[in-house]
A and B are shown apart, each in its own frame.
Chain A
């Protein structure tokens, strides 16, 4: 999974040393990787911390909609694949938290920010998984969108983030294929299965397009992020790529994309598609998504109701250390 930038920073407030800033910008422009110990502008650090931690939170919250179906996976093989997939997402969360930590914010602080509602995660996970086909749709569309976004991030300017993306991308393309395979199977199945598949596409299509974030004209940080190579392509460019790749995949398995305005535009060599309901997107960003409360409650409960486990582990480690010292 992935996230796009959802929060805006105030105007760059820190006044940076112009010489250092110029040297930094030159390195970034030359496609050099910036490493944790290197000098970087405060705004770069802040933007990256926000972006990587949002990405990490998205991986972790993203375990919930799919975890919802592990117990009901319809065959032993599907159960194993889904378990392994959700496990991969947990692993992505871990690499990303580690990458964000190199910028000076602890994992505890990031988790705190998530639970207080201050930090955001991808809007897509605020929609419910109501049928098995949703597991196919998530793999196909959501992991598919993630790849679109993350492949360019393998060349993002911050070294630890770029390296995390290399590992993550391999697994995401696996997830995308597995999701599509679920959909394909449903489409070859009974009429009930086809209905499930089409219904899942109907519900997940628009939220998937929203995953790429607000349109470019409404995305004030994009220019800065592109210059700093935190982003490598704009929201709209990535969204267009996603549509162009995904529409033929839907057609190939006999599903119809729920957009009457969708048509091939020969001159631009891509699809034209309908207007995204940005009001819905902003409502989800505000925390009003259909299952936003469920997702946050699940995360907070996991954290708070199991606090005694982490406390016990710390207490035990402290006792061990004390014994070792005494010995």
Chain B
């Protein structure tokens, strides 16, 4: 092994002059904050995947007015995804932007919850998913407006108004369809039966969620759970429906273990950037 350079007197002088910054064993300032990165991915992926799903309705909705409101929600969600994913890319510091993250990751790297990737099914199933998700997202974003991370707080503050409208709109449809005709009641009930098993994942506090909450960046979801269930129950009751019984929770989305549906969604969504990796659009 080559000999180490000696410490010269001028080095010692320089060392004395440079006293006073940093700490031993502290992450360097330019080291990416990977848990913030992951947390922003979760937020961005939820919005992105649900936006992609809702957009599938475009041109095929029950009426022009409904078509407009679904496209409107999709647009809000794609906007949120753009902010969160661009931010995630910036935090990661490896030169990836929102588009890189949206179009060049495979299923294992997606961090959305399983609920948002569920297929649209009929309009009732779409509304059940929307209501279960938007009610949760609204509570979360309310909380995140007070995040210690300025960017997360700013995006949440902008998005919370949008999401509050999504919650309202979907709750109205749940009630209208639940308390509409016999057929619509059955379809709405089926919509809840399909989606209900993915609700526990929304409140799962895994290590990353706990760390984000502890740092004041993310929300402690356990304190939101009771209010959420009370809200959902009151709408479901007004809709003359019954909540499905709880089953063993299905988790995995936050760790990249998704349903079979996500891969197909990504095939469609990522087709162009993947087929023409050298192109910009």
Contacts and interface: CB of A to CB of B under 8 A. Distances in A.
What is the interface of chain A mostly: helix, strand, loop, or mixed? helix
Interface stretch (B34-42, B52-60, B154-162): B52-60
A60 interface: yes
Nearest to B56: A71
A8 interface: no
Interface in A141-199: 182, 185-186, 189-190, 192-193
A137 interface: no
Interface in B246-281: 268-269, 271-273, 276, 278-281
A75 B60 contact: no
Interface in B58-73: 58-68, 71-72
B158 to A, nearest CB: 14
A185 B280 contact: yes
A186 B280 CA distance: 8
What is the interface of chain B mostly: helix, strand, loop, or mixed? helix
B61 A302 contact: yes
B40 to A, nearest CB: 15
A298 B59 CA distance: 8
A310 B63 contact: yes
A91 interface: yes
Contact of B177 (A67, A83, A298, A309): A309
A321 B187 CA distance: 23
Interface in A254-308: 298, 301-302, 306-308
A193 B281 CA distance: 9
Interface string A53-80: 0000000100110010011111111111
A298 B71 contact: no
A74 B273 contact: yes
A63 B269 contact: no
A139 interface: no
Interface in A230-262: none
A94 interface: yes
Contact of A71 (B66, B102, B179, B268): B268
Interface string A76-89: 11111001101100
A298 B60 contact: yes
A81 B58 CA distance: 14
Contacts of A312: 176-177, 180-181, 183-184
Contacts of B61: 302, 306
Given A185-B281, A309-B62, A319-B179, 7 more contacts: A67-B59, A67-B60, A80-B79, A80-B82, A83-B75, A306-B63, A310-B62
Interface of A: 60, 63-64, 67, 70-80, 83-84, 86-87, 90-91, 93-94, 97, 132, 182, 185-186, 189-190, 192-193, 298, 301-302, 306-313, 315-316, 319
10 contacts: A67-B60, A70-B58, A72-B272, A74-B103, A83-B74, A190-B278, A190-B279, A301-B60, A307-B62, A315-B184
